[in-house]
Amino acid sequence: MKTLMRKVALILVLVCIFAMVLPVSAAEERIDLYKSGGGDGPKNVLAVGDIAVKFTVPEGKMLKAFVFIDSPTWTKKDSTGEIVLFKWDTDYATTVAGDRLESHSELHADNSDFRLDVNGYYGPGTYLVLMPRDAATNDLGVWTDGKNPDVGAVTYINGTEQNYMAKSCIFVADDNPPTYDSTTILAYVLLIAATGVVVFKKRKDMA
């Protein structure tokens, strides 16, 4: 009976530790960077050059994903492309000359979402997503629509601001920057120690 109670207590301790260590996934919110009405038809990155979108993650939010909505390939089935995330710095030229934060490439299906799900933490602030011409193996691009004055996003073609928006959106969640405070560190230590006790006990029983 005592052995059973010890096992139950150990399981409860492990559950509590995991609850302290594992992050809770926040619900995602979609923010459209465009507004219906306007636009200038689809833009082929091979024809027009680099396509980019500047956008802002609102205060209290963090970036989860960027999406070029229904990105076309003009029925081509061998169109591979790339989208790259940068932190906005001063102006377009300075930004794209800076460090890439994240990128995603894929063999893209016609009129499907071209999506970059981020792995790192990107909190409130201004960013740029680039679809580089040099990375496209065949026709690939974006649909365009009107600008959304509520979010202030900007579309660039080869670094030149346009009077329309690439049809795109971002997904954000409540801001939750990674922390490494004493409570989190203690939780990891306890988890490691508890795991060690379980392994030691199992080996001892097998001996």
- Report the pLDDT averaged over residues 117-145: 98
Q: Please answer whether residues 111 and 140 qualify as being in contact, where contact means their C-beta atoms are separated by less than 8 angstroms.
A: no
Helices (H) and strands (E) counted in the chain, each on its own, are 4, 15
pLDDT at 191 over 90: no
Stretch 152-161: mean pLDDT: 98
- Given pLDDT bands bounded at 50, 70 and 90, which one contains residue 101? very high
For the chain, give the mean pLDDT: 85
Which pLDDT belongs to residue 38?
87
203 pLDDT band, cuts 50/70/90, is low
Average pLDDT of span 102-128: 98
E strand intervals along the chain: 29-32, 34-35, 43-44, 51-57, 61-71, 80-87, 102-107, 112-117, 125-131, 141-142, 144-147, 154-157, 160-161, 165-166, 168-174
Q: Are 33 and 170 in contact (CB under 8 A)?
A: yes
CATH label, 29-174, candidates 2.40.360, 3.30.1680, 2.60.120, 3.30.1490? 2.60.120
| Residues 161-168, mean pLDDT to the nearest whole number | 98
- This model's pTM is above 0.75: yes
Half-sphere exposure of residue 81: CA atoms within 13 angstroms, side-chain side: 33
The average pLDDT across 127-147 equals 98
Sheet holding 112-117, edge to edge: 29-32, 168-174, 61-71, 112-117
> Rounded to an integer, what distance in angstroms lies between the CA atom of residue 74 and that of residue 32?
24
User: Span 162-180, mean pLDDT?
Assistant: 91
Is residue 44 packed enough to be buried (19+ CB in 10 Å), middle (13-18) or exposed (0-12)?
Answer: buried
| pLDDT confidence band for 15 (50 / 70 / 90) | very low
Q: What is the pLDDT of residue 3?
A: 58
pLDDT at 85: 98
- Give the whole-number percent of the chain exceeding pLDDT 70: 73
% of the chain beyond a pLDDT of 90: 71
The pLDDT score that the predictor gives to residue 20 is: 47
For residues 10 and 119, the answer to whether their CB atoms sit within 8 Å is no
* CA gap 168, 70 in Å, rounded: 9
pLDDT at residue 178, rounded to an integer: 73
